[in-house]
Structure 1
């Protein structure tokens, strides 16, 4: 399987790249800085050195899947939606060779099933969250946009309330709900996210919908 990863030098993108390579997939890093990608991912990394917003249908053609692990600063968080629109336009399901699109989303759109509260409302209660809350707020809008899309093959993947560096546990999957790990906390390691994404790519179970990943 030929897999492209946008944002392959970020926390999620790095682990997804490594997991794909470990499983023997043909994986390519879409990055702006090829030297940084080689430093982080190894000298033999396959690189397409191009800004994600400049990617075209031609760039994406021939990939079986493209994973969007793009990250933005709070002041530019609306670019999550902008890039989603661009990728959907560049990879229509009607075009031969268009990839399946995988979007790494946020936890703000998850629901506490006991109270009905959205994750974004719980995040607002965290001290000093106003400095960065625009990121999960825009990722919520990103999912709302994707749920209107029927012209491309896509799947969204949300971590739990804490998305942190770390090795994989056995991923626990849900749909739209806040989950807890064995320690009673709601968290997902980048390693667990990577395992769940590759499991989905190798054995698809979700189409044009979102699922969520928790540590065990």
Structure 2
């Protein structure tokens, strides 16, 4: 399959490029930094690269792809760009079944507790989170936007509470509730995220909805 990864040099994006190439897919990596793309190309020689800002991408840049994965990440000061990029991609492919749009969201939009409240509400109560809270808040807005899109082929995934660099493990999968493994940990490694995304791309179990994954061990 032809896969395109936006934000390909970030933690999630680079892991997805590596996993896609390992599985034999035709993958194009998009990022703004020529230096970082060159480093990624050295690790994944089969990958094609495109140096371009995500907001400068055109329909022609993406329309030959079977799946476009939005692995874009912003600073807390510009966290609204998560919503803006989702809106841009949706606008490009309204009333179209291809490419499939795959969005990586945050854990803040997942539910937790007996009352199933949003995890971001707990984050907002801790002053230590003030410096980055705008990111999960805007990723929640991104999900809410996507949930009203019914004429685009999209899917989204949220990691567990801690999303970090690491090798793939077994995968725990859920729908809208924050996941914990048998030892009570709520973590998702970049390798597990990449593995889960490629599994979903190849098997297509979800359509116009969000699911969540976590490390099983």
Map 1:38-57 onto structure 2 (within 5 A): 38-42=38-42, 44=45, 45-57=47-59
Question: 1:91 pairs with 90, 93, 107, which one?
Answer: 93
Q: Which runs of 5+ in 2 are unaligned?
A: none
- Structure 1 residue aligned with 2:204: 204
For the 8 Å contact 1:159–1:187, the answer to whether it is kept is: yes
SS at match of 2:112: coil
User: Does residue 61 of structure 1 match 2:63?
Assistant: yes
Which structure: greater strand fraction?
Answer: 2
- Residue 91 of structure 2 is aligned to residue 81 of structure 1: no
Task: Provide the C-alpha distance between the structure 2 equivalents of 1:182 and 1:19, rounded to a whole number of angstroms.
Answer: 26
Equivalent position SS for 1:184 = coil
Aligned pair count reads 214
- In the aligned structure 2, how far is the partner of 1:34 from the partner of 1:206? 34
Cα distance in 1 for residues equivalent to 2:180 and 2:17: 26
Q: 1:156-196 CA deviation, whole Å, 9 max, x = no partner? A: 10001111111111111100001102321111111110000
Identify unmatched segments of 5+ residues in structure 1: none
CA distance in 2, matches of 1:126, 1:4: 37
Contact 2:112-2:178 within 8 A present in 1 as well = yes
Secondary structure of 2:90 counterpart: helix
Q: Is the 8 A contact 2:173 2:214 kept in 1?
A: yes
Per the TM alignment, residue 125 of structure 1 is displaced from its structure 2 partner at its CA by 3.6
Aligned residue for 1:214, secondary structure, equals strand
Between the aligned partners of 2:115 and 2:187, the Cα distance in structure 1 is 19
Corresponding residue number in structure 1 for 2:20: 20
TM-score by length of 1: 0.95
Q: Is contact 1:113-1:178 (8 Å) kept?
A: no
Partner of 2:116: 116
Indicate if the aligned counterparts of 2:96 and 2:153 stay in contact, CA closer than 8 A.
no
Q: State the partner residue of 1:70.
A: 72
Q: CA deviation at 1:127?
A: 4.6
CA RMSD of aligned residues (A): 1.4
Match runs of 1:172-187 below 5 Å? 172-187=172-187
